[in-house]
Amino acid sequence: MSALPSLTVIVPVYNEAESLPGFLPRLVDFCRAYGWELVLVNDGSRDGSKEILERHASPPAVRVIHHKVNRGYGGALKSGLLDAQTTFVVTIDGDGQHEPDDIRRLLEFAAERDADLVVGRRDTGQNSGWYRELGKSIIRRFTRLLMPLPIQDLNSGFKLYRTELVQAYLPVCPDSMAFSDVITLTFLNQKDLVLEHPIRVNPRQKGRSTISAYTAVETLMEILNLAMLFNPLKIFLSLSAICFAFGILWGIPLLLLNRGVSVGAMLAIVSGLIFFFIGLVASQLSSMRLGELSARRRKNRAP
């Protein structure tokens, strides 16, 4: 196989002092063996993670970025992604659950298929409780109601991106855990080539996850916000059609019985009109924002 494209590995870290000693040295050695750059982002950790990361820093090959305060999972990834200057960039979690050798597999796969984003697909239910799988299922179903979703593992933290594209799309992504879902949906809606490749996931040995029920709710809201950006008419026209249909079905029987026009039926029809015109305005605003996003994309891809 020909030489692999240049790569930067991004690892966001927040209070992972217990997990870092077990996997960080192996990751550093692995990246050095392949000549990859490694960027470790300390997202305001308060447990000694900063000191552990500093001991492994050796710029420019291994760089550490420190946040004075916690910005969130997405905020940490943004700092690392904006720092990358290689052709591709991969993100993995800082809890030691990912295998470094899978990085090479995703890079080879991306180079072979000329992919813009490769999502590391985990086995369904692997090392996850039933409640987390339920949450993921709800998020996938909700997303499919709003937009096409050919990807199985939407919120995997193990992803390989074409650097110039992911940097262009960062302005529409949140600083929260919803980053993983939103960035994937952005690539899909921009008609970039998004593929999946299986990865292995080890059980978390130490430390604790920060994912909660609030994370799932927050993610649903961010996906709804993204749908409003990419396809607001689908939402507002659906609401408009429901209101119109409800108003007509409610009002016609009363008219046939010569009882006049129902106030409730008129309210439903007027609401349908309001949703319709809001959808038109939202569509215009969406076109303007997407135009800006496309301009950033073209600028980043310019030679």
CATH value at residue 23: 3.90.550.10
Query: What share of the chain in percent tops pLDDT 90?
Result: 51
- Position 223 scores a pLDDT of 77
Instruction: Using the 3D structure, point to which of 229, 244, 277 is the last residue of a domain.
Output: 229
**DSSP structure class, residue 153:** -
Residue 52 structural domain: 7-229
| In a shared domain, residues 23 and 108 | yes
Residue 127 has pLDDT above 60, yes or no: no
Query: What is the mean predicted confidence (pLDDT) over 268-276?
Result: 93
Rounded alpha-carbon distances, angstroms, from residue 184 to 1, 150, 176, 191, 205:
28, 11, 14, 11, 28
Per-residue model confidence (pLDDT) at position 255: 73
pLDDT at position 37 is 97
Query: Are residues 159 and 83 both part of a single domain?
Result: yes
Instruction: Look at residue 81 and tell me if it is in a domain.
Output: yes
8 A C-beta contact, residue 38 and residue 63: yes
Q: Taking the model in full, what pTM does it have?
A: 0.80
Q: Taking residues 100-106, what's their average pLDDT?
A: 95
- In sequence order, the β-bridge partners of residue 91 are 10, 159
> Given 229, 244, 270, which residue is the final one in a domain?
229
Closest CA to 207 of 14, 53, 28: 14
Q: How confident is the model at residue 220 (pLDDT cuts 50, 70, 90)?
A: confident
pLDDT recorded at residue 205: 57
Of the residues 196, 229, 262, which one is the last residue of a structural domain?
229
| pLDDT over threshold 50, residue 1 | no
Provide the 10 A C-beta neighbour count for residue 131.
10
Tell me the three state secondary structure of residue 241: helix
Lowest mean pLDDT, pick from 58-72, 198-212, 248-262, 268-282: 198-212
In this structure, the answer to whether residues 218 and 292 fall within a common structural domain is no
With beta carbons less than 8 A apart as the criterion, state whether 206 and 179 touch.
Answer: no
Please state, in angstroms and as integers, the Cα–Cα distance from residue 165 to each residue in 63, 115, 119, 151, 155, following that order.
22, 11, 15, 18, 19
* Same domain, residue pair 204 and 153: yes
Number of structural domains found in the chain: 2
Q: Are residues 244 and 223 in the same domain?
A: no
Per-state percent for the chain, helix, strand, coil, to nearest 5: 55, 15, 30
Residue 117: helix, strand or coil by DSSP? strand
Of residues 298 and 23, the one with the higher pLDDT is 23
- Would you tell me the crossing angle of helices 213-230 and 130-146 to the nearest 10 degrees? 10
Task: Based on the fold, state whether residues 128 and 263 are members of the same structural domain.
Answer: no
Same domain, 141 and 190: yes
Q: Which of 88, 236, 240, 99 is nearest to 167 (CA)?
A: 88
Same domain, 238 and 285: yes
Residue 69 resides in a domain:
yes
The answer to whether residue 65 scores a pLDDT higher than 70 is yes
Q: Is the domain of 88 the same as that of 162? A: yes
In a domain, 147, yes or no: yes
Q: What proportion of the chain, given as a percentage, has pLDDT over 70?
A: 86
Read off the pLDDT of each residue in 42-66 and give the average, rounded to a whole number. Answer: 93
**Mean pLDDT for the stretch of residues 276-302:** 82
Q: Which range, 54-63, 255-264, 289-298, is most confident?
A: 54-63
160 part of a folded domain: yes
Q: Is the dihedral of CA 196, 222, 212, 25 positive or negative?
A: positive
Assigned domain for 276 exists: yes
Least confident range from 74-88, 100-114, 202-216, 265-279: namely 202-216
Give the residue-averaged pLDDT of 231-260.
Answer: 85
Residues 194 and 259 in one domain: no
* CA distances from residue 52 to 6, 127, 287 in whole angstroms, order as listed: 26, 27, 46
Query: Given this model, what pLDDT does residue 252 score?
Result: 85
Asked if residue 2 belongs to a domain, the reply is no
Query: Residue 145 pLDDT > 60, yes or no?
Result: yes
The reply to whether 212 and 242 lie within a common domain is: no
101-113 and 20-34 are packed helices; what angle lies between their axes, rounded to 10 degrees? 40
Same-domain check for residues 64 and 203: yes
Residue of 91, 121, 280, 293 whose CA lies nearest to 190:
293
Residue 133 lies in a domain: yes
pLDDT average, residue stretch 234-239: 89
Other beta carbons within 10 Å of 118: 27
* Cα(83)–Cα(110) distance, integer angstroms: 21
Determine, yes or no, domain membership for 1: no
| More confidently predicted of 92 and 208 | 92
Three-class DSSP category at 43:
strand
